[in-house]
């Protein structure tokens, strides 16, 4: 029963998510929460979606990917290209219509191009903007581009049996390379400036931001629910068993006749695609995307969220991402009260990272199951668990992880 | 009257006093020319001044040029203007250099040479300066000749070469003489020989002179071009078709091309009642429609004719665009071409050597940064993400030492061991408190040490602030070791290289020749077996971690000297360090050396293709490493046996 898609924890999570969404909607309607806070919550839901994808690849399959935020960022860039193109098109349209001659297609493209790329000293559309005028194609790219990158990278890495910390470093190198590439002005994605003004949705100029932010909040909630169900289904049944077996002893699974590389590749690509979708929902709420979002540190934070929330359980990852990212914005936003220590006052904007780092170390040392471990403590009184949990245990010993 | 008398006396006495004459005497002989010099007349004065070989003459020429010379109307003598106080002016004697008197400003005439005269004076001054005993003056004279080359300077330059005591300056003089002769020589033979003589050096100045001789002008002709043709420009390779056609238009040989923008403007200008050329304005939203409307206008004769692609093609094939040398003599340009090609080859070789030195220098930094990581990774199988922060700790230790010990040499001597001790202590603390408990969970070690890393970074920010702190190198490390005009390497880089060599030797010694090294190697190869043989893995782990972290601290001081000390400096090197370890292979000093060498070489090599774009270089380097790992998943130097886990 434990491996069922609709196990109690799934239903509980979905229920809680629904209640949360409804409460936030009502509170927003009453004006009790601000538009920007609704956006923060919507973004947090997207991060939760990325975190459960991370949990599937790390907590269930045992691949510590330090590059999943690259897929997140790519998803954001793909949707951002359409948002920016379509919005700039509406911006330049009045100017062009005022001309004595009706504009040709080339003139429209040039006008949009010089508007978008003027900041990097160019006006030509690079090849990668070929489909930017089509929402449908860009939406397809949101899924296809991260999947393709994951497929190529994963195929290369898994084929040559790069595992353990080597793989982690390699994924980190991948995201670093992508970030450095995008930082260049001639990368075609406006370099360091990134894509901006994404919060303005073309075609919905008259809709107030409060409505838009609630719509995105709901879209994020639905995406999270759908993602949760998808991953709950993936990690249940035979597929889930094989993935966990790969985590615990890859060699043995291979000897049992499974194509380990195929399973790993499947998990890697699927999580990359879902992370890309999460990014595509995140950045219209954030309003701006630039290459710094893809820097290796972002992916490490993703791993930290999952670790604090509790690996090997989807709700743990989601809770970890929500708690840590909300706490982080609370502390760094200056809202947390300072602690006066005589001559020195601890300002949380300065000390939050120290607190996060130390508490993260403590979680790793003393509570390897993370926040999700609390659930186990509560469940102690319930019937004995005979199948064992999926958290880190002897299955992640050094020998098993490095020796393949 | 008195002036005349003195002048007369001088004239009479001058043959007698020739050996002992002073500056004033010579000046008085040409008093008129000195007081209001003209470009032609001043030459005589200068020649006589030179002939007299007076020690004060160069200084006088300088003052003259700077308009500091005045003539006292009372005695008719020349003086240098001194301090001006209200209406009185101090006069300084030209020969003794002492204040002679103070007179009202009204009684002196200022000598004001015009621009042409001052140039003449400057040229004469250069002649003095070329023979000046002070090398710095001679160098500045050469620089001023190089700035404004002039055929007149060939002779004095030639004359000063033989007596030049300093070999480097003599070389410079010879080179400059050749440059002048190459450009202004009287006969083609002299010029060709001078050009050939320039081939020996790669100084930018010789290359600039040759490039000047080889300067070209673009010429558009029908048929073959006249003159000393450098080469014909190929449409499609050297020029685009549009550019080439624009050249023909500029030469007035063909009518201008009508661009899409021109069509648009012409159409707009001819809109009448919503139509233009028989087309409704609203229909003109394609390029084809606009062209058709334009052709219709052309038929009405109101716009210039549209130039079709065929016409452009025909015009281009009819005409030749050529680069023609400004120098008419083919023998000279040919010699210059050959010499320049020879110089370019030598420059390329020097550039290659410079690049190699840069790569070695970068590799030694990476080696220092990565070797500690490689040892701990090899022995304990854990990746220490906080390794970069140990580098930072070492650098900040150096910075703090410099705050207390102002002598940079002494502070460096204190800082190096202290950085080792502080970083090693931090490493041991990390090992005892965190890593020890996570030995069997390497992925979690990676993340836990990352937690330490962000906490340490933020702590450093809180203590030292966000701005970069300087770590000043001692004076003897300033400057460059210059091998020629292109190859140069700063002494700090040399010092880092030496430091890296030192640690390479030290580590090889420790690992291969000591008991500790033996035990470390045993634990690296097989921890279980080593423990069975009575080696305490716990102790070894601690010692290894202390050693690895300590070296990171030293690397921090080195990197701080070379760059700056910031809280992010470790993070900037950590990914490269990982790459170095992964590429080189784990747990082996030679592997790390190979990895650092490969990565340093790659980074500099890729950068040299496009020096302005270091981001692209880093991107390609990482891509290369990702692909490299496909073929050697265990690095260049892979461990054999059970430790490799195969």
For A144-182, the pLDDT digits (tens) are 999 999 999 999 888 888 877 788 888 988 998 899 899
CA distance B532 to B517: 17
Q: Which domain holds residue A154?
A: 8-294
Q: Which of A217, A213, A247 is nearest to A390 (CA)?
A: A247
For B399-550, strand residue ranges (E) read 480-482, 488-490
Whether B247 and B257 have beta carbons less than 8 Å apart is answered as no
* Residue A94 CA, distance from chain mean position: 37
For A26-66, the pLDDT digits (tens) are 998 888 888 889 999 999 999 999 999 999 999 999 999 99
Task: State whether residue A356 sits within 8 Å of chain B by CB.
Answer: yes
pLDDT at B574 over 90: no
3-class SS shares of chain B: helix, strand, coil, % to 5: 65, 10, 25
Q: How many CA atoms lie within 13 A of A215 on its CB side?
A: 10
Q: Which of B387, B443, B359 is nearest to B572 (CA)?
A: B387
Task: State whether residue B391 sits within 8 Å of chain A by CB.
Answer: no
Residues in Cβ contact with B336 at an 8 Å cutoff, skipping those fewer than 6 apart: B182, B195, B210, B213, B214, B327
Look at residue B19 in the predicted model and tell me its pLDDT: 43
Whether A212 and A204 have beta carbons less than 8 Å apart is answered as yes
pLDDT category at A395 given cuts 50, 70, 90 is very low
Whether B624 and B602 have beta carbons less than 8 Å apart is answered as yes
pLDDT at A221 over 90: yes
* Mean pLDDT within B345-352: 88
pLDDT at A398 over 60: no
Task: State whether residue B638 sits within 8 Å of chain A by CB.
Answer: no
Look at residue B2 in the predicted model and tell me its pLDDT: 54
The CB density around residue B465, as the number of other CB atoms within 10 Å, is 11
pLDDT at A388 over 70: no
For A116-151, the pLDDT digits (tens) are 888 887 778 888 888 888 899 999 999 999 999 999
Look at residue B6 in the predicted model and tell me its pLDDT: 53
Cα B558 to Cα A124, A178, B397, B401, B421: the distances in Å are 45, 30, 12, 14, 15
State residue A121 phi and psi, 5-degree precision: 70, 45
Q: Which two tokens stand for residue A374?
A: 């609390």
Q: Which two tokens stand for residue A404?
A: 């393949």
Tell me the chain B residues in contact with residue A352 when contact means C-beta distances shorter than 8 Å.
458
Strand order in the sheet with B78-85: B99-104, B88-93, B78-85, B69-72, B108-110
* Mean pLDDT within A186-214: 87
CA distance B180 to B599: 46
CA distance B9 to B57: 22
Task: State whether residue B225 sits within 8 Å of chain A by CB.
Answer: no
CA distance A75 to A272: 9
pLDDT category at B450 given cuts 50, 70, 90 is confident
CA distance B445 to B501: 31
Per DSSP, the three-state class of B419 is helix
Q: Between residues B245 and A262, which one has the greater pLDDT? A: A262
pLDDT at A253 over 90: yes
Task: State whether residue B632 sits within 8 Å of chain A by CB.
Answer: no
Could you tell me if residue A342 is inside a domain? no
Task: State whether residue B109 sits within 8 Å of chain A by CB.
Answer: no
Dmax (CA) of chain B: 117
pLDDT category at A229 given cuts 50, 70, 90 is very high
Residue B233 is classified by DSSP as P
Greatest mean pLDDT among A249-263, B227-241, B257-271 lies in A249-263
Residues in Cβ contact with B197 at an 8 Å cutoff, skipping those fewer than 6 apart: B174, B178
pLDDT at B174 over 60: yes
CA distance A293 to A70: 8
Percentage, residues of chain A above pLDDT 90: 45
Task: State whether residue B403 sits within 8 Å of chain A by CB.
Answer: no
Report, in angstroms and rounded to the nearest whole number, the Rg of chain A calculated over CA atoms: 23
User: What angle do the packed helices B442-464 and A348-366 form, to 10 degrees?
Assistant: 160
Q: Which single residue is written with the structure tokens 């602030």?
A: B465
> To 5 degrees, how large is the angle CA A327–CA A173–CA B619?
120
CA distance B63 to B97: 12
Q: Which two tokens stand for residue B493?
A: 């880089």
User: What mean pLDDT is reported for chain B?
Assistant: 82
Angstroms from B382 CA to nearest CA on chain A: 8
pLDDT category at B550 given cuts 50, 70, 90 is very high
Q: Between residues A126 and A22, which one has the greater pLDDT? A: A22
Q: Which two tokens stand for residue A137?
A: 């194609």
Angstroms from B135 CA to nearest CA on chain A: 48
| Contact at CB, B443 and A368, closer than 8 angstroms | no
* Substitution target from B524, B622, B643 for chain A, most A beta carbons within 10 A: B622
Beta-bridge mates of residue B324: B217, B229
CATH number for the domain whose boundaries are B350-598: 1.10.3470
Could you tell me if residue A176 is inside a domain? yes
Domain residue extents for chain B: 2-118, 131-213, 258-306, 350-598
Residues in Cβ contact with B563 at an 8 Å cutoff, skipping those fewer than 6 apart: B569
- Window 132-161 of A, Cβ < 8 Å to B: 153, 156-157, 159-161
User: What mean pLDDT is reported for chain A?
Assistant: 86
Tell me the chain A residues in contact with residue B448 when contact means C-beta distances shorter than 8 Å.
360-361, 364-365
Look at residue A225 in the predicted model and tell me its pLDDT: 96
Beta-bridge mates of residue B276: B279
Angstroms from B459 CA to nearest CA on chain A: 7
The CB density around residue A155, as the number of other CB atoms within 10 Å, is 15
For A77-92, the pLDDT digits (tens) are 999 999 999 999 888 8
For A271-305, the pLDDT digits (tens) are 999 999 999 999 999 999 999 999 888 998 999 89
* Mean pLDDT within A382-395: 48
Of the listed ranges A179-193, B189-203, B337-351, the one predicted with least confidence:
B189-203
Whether B105 and B89 have beta carbons less than 8 Å apart is answered as yes
Look at residue A383 in the predicted model and tell me its pLDDT: 53
Whether A294 and A239 have beta carbons less than 8 Å apart is answered as no
CB-nearest partner of A361 from B285, B286, B448: B448
pLDDT at B150 over 80: no
State residue B85 phi and psi, 5-degree precision: -125, 105
- Containing H/E element for B399? helix B387-404
User: What angle do the packed helices B569-584 and A164-183 form, to 10 degrees?
Assistant: 130
Q: Which single residue is written with the structure tokens 């043995």?
A: A252
* Mean pLDDT within A367-396: 62
User: What angle do the packed helices A209-235 and A35-55 form, to 10 degrees?
Assistant: 20
Question: In the 3-class helix/strand/coil scheme, how is B75-95 assigned residue by residue?
Answer: CCCEEEEEEEECCEEEEEECC
Count of the separate structural domains present in chain A: 1
Q: How many CA atoms lie within 13 A of B408 on its CB side?
A: 11
Angstroms from B537 CA to nearest CA on chain A: 15
Look at residue B27 in the predicted model and tell me its pLDDT: 80
pLDDT category at B645 given cuts 50, 70, 90 is very low
pLDDT at A208 over 80: yes
* Mean pLDDT within B102-122: 79
pLDDT at A390 over 50: no
Whether B67 and B58 have beta carbons less than 8 Å apart is answered as no
Of the listed ranges A268-277, B141-150, B455-464, B543-552, the one predicted with least confidence:
B141-150
Q: Which two tokens stand for residue B329?
A: 């003599």
CA distance A302 to A171: 13
For B379-419, the pLDDT digits (tens) are 777 778 899 999 999 999 999 999 998 888 899 999 999 99
Percentage, residues of chain A above pLDDT 70: 93
Tell me the chain A residues in contact with residue B282 when contact means C-beta distances shorter than 8 Å.
102
For B490-528, the pLDDT digits (tens) are 888 888 899 999 999 998 999 889 998 899 888 877 878
- Taking one residue from A and the other from B, the number of pairs with CB-CB distance under 8 angstroms is 167
Look at residue A404 in the predicted model and tell me its pLDDT: 35
Per DSSP, the three-state class of A13 is helix
Task: State whether residue B429 sits within 8 Å of chain A by CB.
Answer: no
CA distance B177 to B180: 5
pLDDT at B40 over 80: no
Look at residue B639 in the predicted model and tell me its pLDDT: 60
Whether B494 and B479 have beta carbons less than 8 Å apart is answered as no
Look at residue B554 in the predicted model and tell me its pLDDT: 92
């Amino acid at each position: 029963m434990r491996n069922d898609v609709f196990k109690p924890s799934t239903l509980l999570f979905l229920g809680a998510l629904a209640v949360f969404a409804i409460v936030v909607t009502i509170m927003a309607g009453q004006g009790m929460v601000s538009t920007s806070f609704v956006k923060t919550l919507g973004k947090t839901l997207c991060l939760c979606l990325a975190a459960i994808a991370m949990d599937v690849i790390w907590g269930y399959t045992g691949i510590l990917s330090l590059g999943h935020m690259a897929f997140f960022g790519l998803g954001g860039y793909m949707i951002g290209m359409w948002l920016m193109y379509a919005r700039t098109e509406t911006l330049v349209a009045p100017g062009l219509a005022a001309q004595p001659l009706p504009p040709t297609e080339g003139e429209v493209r040039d006008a949009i191009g010089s508007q978008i790329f003027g900041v990097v000293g160019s006006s030509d559309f690079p090849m990668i903007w070929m489909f930017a005028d089509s929402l449908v194609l860009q939406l397809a790219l949101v899924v296809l581009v991260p999947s393709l990158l994951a497929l190529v990278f994963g195929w290369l890495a898994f084929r040559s049996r790069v595992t353990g910390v080597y793989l982690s470093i390699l994924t980190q190198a991948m995201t670093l390379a992508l970030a450095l590439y995008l930082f260049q002005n001639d990368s075609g994605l406006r370099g360091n400036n990134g894509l901006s003004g994404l919060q303005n949705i073309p075609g919905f100029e008259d809709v107030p931001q409060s409505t838009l932010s609630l719509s995105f909040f709901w879209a994020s909630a639905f995406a999270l629910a759908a993602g949760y169900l998808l991953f709950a289904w993936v990690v249940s049944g035979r597929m889930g068993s094989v993935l966990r077996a790969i985590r615990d002893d890859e060699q043995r699974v291979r000897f049992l006749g499974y194509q380990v590389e195929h399973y790993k590749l499947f998990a890697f690509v699927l999580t990359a695609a879902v992370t890309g979708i999460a990014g595509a929902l995140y950045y219209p709420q954030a309003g701006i995307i630039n290459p710094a979002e893809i820097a290796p540190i972002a992916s490490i934070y993703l791993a930290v969220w999952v670790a604090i929330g509790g690996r090997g359980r989807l709700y743990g990852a989601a809770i970890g991402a929500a708690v840590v990212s909300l706490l982080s914005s609370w502390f760094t936003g200056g809202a947390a009260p300072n602690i006066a220590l005589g001559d020195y006052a601890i300002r949380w904007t300065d000390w939050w990272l120290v607190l996060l780092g130390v508490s993260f170390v403590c979680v790793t040392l003393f509570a390897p199951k993370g926040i999700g471990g609390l659930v186990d403590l509560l469940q102690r009184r319930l019937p004995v668990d005979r199948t064992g949990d999926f958290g880190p245990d002897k299955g992640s010993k050094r020998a098993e992880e490095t020796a393949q | 009257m008195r002036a005349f008398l003195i002048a007369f006396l001088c004239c009479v006495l001058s043959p007698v006093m020739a050996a002992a004459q002073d500056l004033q005497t010579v000046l008085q002989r040409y008093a008129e020319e000195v007081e209001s010099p003209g470009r032609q007349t001043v030459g005589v004065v200068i020649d006589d001044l030179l002939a007299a070989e007076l020690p004060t003459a160069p200084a006088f020429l300088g003052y003259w040029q700077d308009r500091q010379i005045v003539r006292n109307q009372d005695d008719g003598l020349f003086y240098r203007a001194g301090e001006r106080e209200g209406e009185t002016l101090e006069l300084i004697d030209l020969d003794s250099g002492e204040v002679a008197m103070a007179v009202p400003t009204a009684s002196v005439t200022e000598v004001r040479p015009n621009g042409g005269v001052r140039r003449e004076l400057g040229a004469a001054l250069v002649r003095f300066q070329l023979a000046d005993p002070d090398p710095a003056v001679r160098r500045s004279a050469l620089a001023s000749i190089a700035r404004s080359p002039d055929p007149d300077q060939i002779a004095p330059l030639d004359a000063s070469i033989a007596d030049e005591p300093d070999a480097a300056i003599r070389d410079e003089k010879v080179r400059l003489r050749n440059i002048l002769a190459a450009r202004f020589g009287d006969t083609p033979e002299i010029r060709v020989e001078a050009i050939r003589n320039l081939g020996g050096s790669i100084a930018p100045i010789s290359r600039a002179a040759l490039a000047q001789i080889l300067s070209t002008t673009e010429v558009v002709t029908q048929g073959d071009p006249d003159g000393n043709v450098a080469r014909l420009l190929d449409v499609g390779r050297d020029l685009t078709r549009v550019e080439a056609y624009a050249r023909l238009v500029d030469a007035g040989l063909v009518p201008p091309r009508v661009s899409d923008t021109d069509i648009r403007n012409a159409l707009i200008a001819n809109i009448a009642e919503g139509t233009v050329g028989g087309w409704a304005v609203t229909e003109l939203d394609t390029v084809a429609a606009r062209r058709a409307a334009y052709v219709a206008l052309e038929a009405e004769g109101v716009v210039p004719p549209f130039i079709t692609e065929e016409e452009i093609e025909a015009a281009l094939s009819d005409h030749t665009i050529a680069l023609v040398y400004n120098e008419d003599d083919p023998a000279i340009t040919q010699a210059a071409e050959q010499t320049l090609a020879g110089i370019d080859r030598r420059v390329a070789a020097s550039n290659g050597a410079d690049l190699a030195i840069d790569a070695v220098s970068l590799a030694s930094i990476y080696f220092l940064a990565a070797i500690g990581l490689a040892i701990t990774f090899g022995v304990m199988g854990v990746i220490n993400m906080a390794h970069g922060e140990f580098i930072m700790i070492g650098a900040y230790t150096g910075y703090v030492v410099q705050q207390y010990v102002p002598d940079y040499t002494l502070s460096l001597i204190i800082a190096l061991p202290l950085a080792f001790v502080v970083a090693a202590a931090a490493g041991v603390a990390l090992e005892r408190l965190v890593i020890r408990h996570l030995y069997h969970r390497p992925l979690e070690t990676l993340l836990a040490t990352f937690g330490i890393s962000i906490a340490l970074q933020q702590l450093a920010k809180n203590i030292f602030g966000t701005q970069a702190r300087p770590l000043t190198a001692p004076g003897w490390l300033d400057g460059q070791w210059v091998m020629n005009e292109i190859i140069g390497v700063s002494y700090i880089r040399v010092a880092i290289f030496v430091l890296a060599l030192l640690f390479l030797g030290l580590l090889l010694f420790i690992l291969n020749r000591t008991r500790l090294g033996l035990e470390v190697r045993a634990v690296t190869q097989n921890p279980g077996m080593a423990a069975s043989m009575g080696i305490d893995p716990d102790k070894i782990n601690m010692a290894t971690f202390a050693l690895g972290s300590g070296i990171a601290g030293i690397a921090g001081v080195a990197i701080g000297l070379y760059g700056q000390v910031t809280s992010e400096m470790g993070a900037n090197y950590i990914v490269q360090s990982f790459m170095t370890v992964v590429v080189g292979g784990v747990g082996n000093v030679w592997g790390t050396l190979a990895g650092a060498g490969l990565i340093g070489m790659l980074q500099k090599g890729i950068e040299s293709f496009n020096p302005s774009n270091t981001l692209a270089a880093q991107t390609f380097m990482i891509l290369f490493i990702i692909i490299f790992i496909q073929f050697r998943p265990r690095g260049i130097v892979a461990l054999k046996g059970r430790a490799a886990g195969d």
